[in-house]
Amino acid sequence: MRKVAEEVGIRHDLERARRGAVLASPGKTRVTMFLDNDVLAHFRATATRNGRGYQTEINAFLRRALTGHAAPDTETAAKATGGQRPGGLAGAPARRKTSKSE
């Protein structure tokens, strides 16, 4: 492949190449986090219905929760997860950490 690229005059310097987004989005930070499967399923289903990405749905939900413009829709989440409220959402009981001795 390299020989073909050089023959047509294409040269790429990959010395400092990295994986990931080509251009960082201003005002956004890449994070890694663990979400419960039912929570992720809810946001993926919502994203499919709304025609946008699930990460966009999660961001919009968190923004509404922070600004108080609209209460997070936990009832829709409960329907999507078989009547269970996804853990960590407003209105859901907080999980208690337990020690191994319990």
pTM: 0.48
- Would you call 6 helix, strand, or coil by DSSP? helix
Q: For the segment 58-96, what is each residue's pLDDT rounded down to a tens digit?
A: 999 999 999 987 655 555 554 554 544 444 444 444 444
The tokens 């020989």 sit on which residue? 3
Domain parsing of the chain, residue ranges: 35-90
Q: What is the largest CA-CA distance in the chain?
A: 69
pLDDT of residue 90: 46
Query: Are 81 and 41 contacting, i.e. CB atoms less than 8 angstroms apart?
Result: yes
Share of residues in the chain with pLDDT > 70 (%): 57
pLDDT band at 5 (very low <50, low <70, confident <90, very high): low
26-46: average pLDDT: 94
Q: How far apart are CA 2 and CA 4, in angstroms?
A: 5
pLDDT of residue 30: 86
Q: How far apart are CA 88 and CA 37, in angstroms?
A: 12
